[in-house]
Amino acid sequence: MSDDRPLFDLVRDNEQERRYAELTWEGSFEDYLALLEEDPRPARNSWQRLLDMIESHGSELGEGRRGRRRWKIFDDPFQGGQDAVYGLDEPLGELVEVIRAGARALGPERRILLLHGPVGSSKSTIARLLKHGLEQYTRSPEGAIYTFDWILEGERIPSPMNQDPLLLVPADRRAAVAERLNRKLRAEYELSIDGDLDPVSRFYYDQLLAEAQGRWSEVVSHVRVRRFVFDEKSRVGIGTFQPKDEKNQDSTELTGDLNYRKIAEYGSDSDPRAFNFDGEFNVANRGLLEFVEVLKLDVAFLYDLLGATQEHVIKPKKFQQTSIDEVILGHTNEPEYRKLQSNELMEAFRDRTIKIDVPYNLSVSGEALIHRRRYGSVDTPGRGMAPHTLEMAALWAVLTRLEEPAHPGLTLLQKARLYDGQEVAGFTAEQVAELRAAAPREGLDGISPRYVQDRIAACLVGEKPTINAKDVLASIEAGLSHHSMVASEEVRRRYRELVAVVREEYEEIIKHEVQVAIASDREAIDRLCSKYLDNVRAYTTREQIVDERGNLRDPDERLMRSIEEKTDIPESRKDDFRHELMNYIAAIHLEGKTFDYRQNKRLTRALELKMFEDQRDSIQLTSLVSSVVDPDTQAKIAVIRDRLMRQFGYDELSADEVLHEVASLFARAEEPTDMDEGNQDAAA
């Protein structure tokens, strides 16, 4: 149905007009107090507001995360996941709990939150998400926040630091006001009215109080309360400070500076009206201040920082100490933090810091998501990237960040699988926790995701229309010779060895996929499983089995062992395994359910391998490495190629590459070794 309204009405957004009215609400001080009696949340301090903002996005317990809670704000709901942080649920959970303690006034509210980790570990991204979150939250009804203006002789003078209107309440009445508000508030924390008016507001407050001869109600009659929103670009509620060259920076960037043009107007450089309260501490009041590379600050800046954290005050030039209410979040890299630890002069700073380690990702699937966010999913048209490309690059990156396991029966590759939530025979969740505890520095060294992305990008601009994992691994290995972050030749050699480990893992994966494609006749696998279970049932009950011709015979031991050997069940354990399997199937039937072998990965894999072995001779896959392939074999291989494309997401080119690669692997495996040739000569 067409809209026949005039074009102007069609373009006009009534909803936007309504939202603008909400975000620019204003009223008297009495109106504001009435508003607080209905909903006390606007009176929260910065830590409480930050906690509620994080919780407003919700959280969840993810699969395979061993009970770790993931806070959804770090999925980047603002830009569709563009800045999502993956694999860091534990440090992010620790950060949220510190913020929770600060909201409850348990101590962290008087500390600097210091995100510490190697380059490229998402420290800046975490800060950015918190800032975006606060900006959006103050635009919502739940996150509404208010400040005030002075109305004097027709002139409107805003509170220069967007202070809470409740700071206008006399000190002896604040406790009673807070007690009333807390009766209405339903939260895990309590509201309090702390701090003093900034110098400008104190100047007008004292002046009006003198004129009104102490009548407070007349003072606040000159006040107009209004709603405002945080906006980093406008320098409201969100501040960011980055150290620069010492010659081009001084502490006034944090605490504000004199306005020399107004000194002539007001006659004194100590008149608060002649001062610009526009330092980063000032503009971030009631919100969040991010210190980029905080440990590179000059000592003069640190003095202001110490007072801002411990006492919640700053000292502008020529003025009294000024109250602030903000969360201070810094981040730093490993070298700068080591300097802090060794510098005795920084003891006071260390004492006022809560360090939260933000390591590199130690989850392969989480690391792969980082790269997929950048390059899209493997099946995105036009990306030209075969399956497993990003996963193998991620696996290599994670391996560089892990310490060699102390457990003698565990390889580095298996450790990476455990950290990714996968099962490794013989290891429990408790043992995984022990592995992590035994290597507290894991993730603070190794390769940055940026290096891996640079090498992927180098492949994508090449001539190949579709790149695969081997292409990226070759690019990674080639780039190590001139990578500036590799400290020594020994480290470079270790990283190259890990490339070889990942190549072997990739070869095992594509061999499995080709095997599945060859043996992917589902009905045939179902029949094989049924045949196997019939034989196991007869074996465990000491009965005979009826074969295809209707004759009774003993259970087929050769068939059963050919499958069990592929699940690493030794001869000595076969009886136990078969009885356990039958008991499990019986228990499933008692619950009214049907046993599905596909829910058992080991059994499914064994059946696929058995089916592959039964069919590989008829396929003659190794003939692909020769120059002549007969039409019948070509047709069979075309079927396998189609299955690879349909089941695993390959395109035609990458499927052909995988088939040739696996054919070469099988051909090499079938070549006689020197020992085999020697044995043949001896036999002759």
Last residue within a domain, chosen from 488, 517, 546: 517
Q: Of 13-22, 32-41, 57-66, 412-421, give the lowest mean pLDDT range.
A: 57-66
Residue 393 and residue 527 in one domain: no
Residue 377 and residue 509 in one domain: yes
Residue 432 and residue 530 in one domain: no
Q: In total, how many domains does the chain have?
A: 2
Let me know if residue 317 belongs to a domain.
Answer: no
pLDDT for the residue 203:
94
Residue 447 and residue 552 in one domain: no
Q: Look over the chain and give the mean of its residue pLDDT values, rounded to a whole number.
A: 86
pLDDT band at 616 (very low <50, low <70, confident <90, very high): low
All residues at 6 or more sequence positions from 87 whose CB lies less than 8 Å from its CB, including other chains? 361, 362, 363, 365, 366, 367, 369, 370
Let me know if residue 255 belongs to a domain.
Answer: no
Q: Answer yes or no: are the C-beta atoms of 657 and 644 closer than 8 Å.
A: no
Region 387-413: what's the mean pLDDT? 93
Residue 382 and residue 454 in one domain: yes
Let me know if residue 585 belongs to a domain.
Answer: yes
Q: Answer yes or no: are the C-beta atoms of 416 and 399 closer than 8 Å.
A: yes
Secondary structure of residue 358 in the 3-state scheme: coil
| CA–CA gap between residue 159 and residue 146 (Å, rounded) | 11
Residue 404 and residue 509 in one domain: yes
Each residue's pLDDT tens digit, 521-537: 677 778 888 888 889 99
Let me know if residue 437 belongs to a domain.
Answer: yes
Let me know if residue 148 belongs to a domain.
Answer: no
Nearest to 534 by CA among 573, 498, 560, 562: 560
pLDDT band at 363 (very low <50, low <70, confident <90, very high): very high
pLDDT for the residue 380:
45
* Position with higher pLDDT, 612 vs 38: 38
Residue 426 and residue 535 in one domain: no
Answer whether residue 276 shows pLDDT above 80.
yes
Last residue within a domain, chosen from 612, 634, 649: 612
All residues at 6 or more sequence positions from 222 whose CB lies less than 8 Å from its CB, including other chains? 150, 151, 152, 204, 208
Residue 511 and residue 552 in one domain: no
| CA–CA gap between residue 285 and residue 164 (Å, rounded) | 10
pLDDT for the residue 201:
95
Most confident of 312-321, 385-394, 654-663: 385-394
- SS in 3 state form for 279-315? CHHHHCCCCEEEECCHHHCCHHHHHHHHHHHHCCEEC
Let me know if residue 679 belongs to a domain.
Answer: no
Nearest to 289 by CA among 333, 254, 249, 317: 254
Each residue's pLDDT tens digit, 483-527: 877 778 899 999 999 999 999 999 999 988 888 887 766 777 788
Residue 467 and residue 552 in one domain: no
Secondary structure of residue 163 in the 3-state scheme: coil
Residue 384 and residue 504 in one domain: yes
Secondary structure of residue 231 in the 3-state scheme: strand
Query: In which domain, by residue range, is 441 found?
Result: 364-517
Query: What tokens does 95 get?
Result: 């950060």
Let me know if residue 16 belongs to a domain.
Answer: no
Residue 507 and residue 567 in one domain: no
- What is the number of other CB atoms lying within 10 angstroms of the CB of residue 493? 12
Most confident of 341-345, 441-445, 660-664: 441-445
pLDDT for the residue 447:
92
Last residue within a domain, chosen from 517, 550, 566: 517
Residue 498 and residue 382 in one domain: yes
Let me know if residue 43 belongs to a domain.
Answer: no
CA distances from 103 to 30, 45, 48 (A): 27, 8, 4
| CA–CA gap between residue 535 and residue 416 (Å, rounded) | 38
* DSSP designation for 237: S
pLDDT band at 245 (very low <50, low <70, confident <90, very high): low
| CA–CA gap between residue 330 and residue 323 (Å, rounded) | 20
Secondary structure of residue 240 in the 3-state scheme: strand
